[in-house]
Amino acid sequence: MAIAPWRATCIQMLSERATQAVDETEARAVLDRNVQRLLAHIRAACNSPEKPDLVVFPEFAMQGPPLGMAVPDWIKRACSSIPGPLTEPLQKLAAELGIFIAGNLFEAPPEWPGRYFNSSFLIDRKGEIILNYRRVNTAAFPSVHDFMSDYLEVTPPDQVFPVVDTELGRLALIPCGEINVPEVARVMMMQGAEVILHPTNSKRTDAQEAAKLTRVAENMVYLVSANVAGPIGFSPDNSILGGRSQIIDHHGNTLAYQDDPAESTAVSAMIDVETLRRDRRTDTGLSNPLLRARYEMYLPYYSTARFYPPDHFLSAPMTDTAETKTAIAIARTNMEQAGILEPLPPGAAEPVAASAH
Residues in the chain: 357
Domain of residue 18: give its range.
6-296
Going by their DSSP bridges, the two strands 164-166 and 169-173 should be labelled as antiparallel
Rg, Å, the chain Cα set: 20
The total number of structural domains that make up the chain: 2
Q: Are residues 174 and 46 in the same domain?
A: yes
pLDDT mean over 244-265 = 98
> From CA 62, how far away is CA 33, in angstroms rounded?
8
Q: Say if CB 313 and CB 151 are below 8 A apart.
A: no
pTM listed for this prediction: 0.96
Q: Are residues 286 and 319 in the same domain?
A: no
349 band by pLDDT with thresholds 50, 70 and 90: confident
Q: Are residues 115 and 130 in the same domain?
A: yes
Q: Are residues 309 and 282 in the same domain?
A: no
Q: Are residues 332 and 253 in the same domain?
A: no
Q: Over pLDDT 70: what percentage of the chain? A: 99
Crossing angle of helices 24-46 and 88-97, in 10° steps, is 10
Q: What's the pLDDT tens digit per position in 293-324? A: 999 999 999 999 999 999 999 999 999 999 99
Would you say residue 350 lies in a domain?
Answer: no
pLDDT mean over 81-108 = 98
Q: Are residues 180 and 315 in the same domain?
A: no
Would you say residue 352 lies in a domain?
Answer: no
Question: How many other CB atoms are found less than 10 A from the CB of residue 200?
Answer: 26
> From CA 179, how far away is CA 198, in angstroms rounded?
8
> From CA 99, how far away is CA 272, in angstroms rounded?
17
Q: For residue 118, give the CATH number of its domain.
A: 3.60.110.10
> From CA 350, how far away is CA 139, in angstroms rounded?
17
- Tell whether the model's pLDDT for residue 356 goes beyond 60: no
> From CA 245, how far away is CA 266, in angstroms rounded?
9
Q: Are residues 182 and 311 in the same domain?
A: no
- Tell whether the model's pLDDT for residue 165 goes beyond 50: yes
Would you say residue 112 lies in a domain?
Answer: yes
Q: Are residues 292 and 305 in the same domain?
A: no
Amino acid at 11: I
The torsion angle over the Cα atoms of residues 79, 80, 85 and 89, rounded to 10 degrees, is 90
Would you say residue 356 lies in a domain?
Answer: no
Q: What is the DSSP letter of 345?
A: P
- Tell whether the model's pLDDT for residue 140 goes beyond 90: no
- Tell whether the model's pLDDT for residue 60 goes beyond 90: yes
Would you say residue 343 lies in a domain?
Answer: no
Q: Are residues 17 and 163 in the same domain?
A: yes
pLDDT at 350: 86
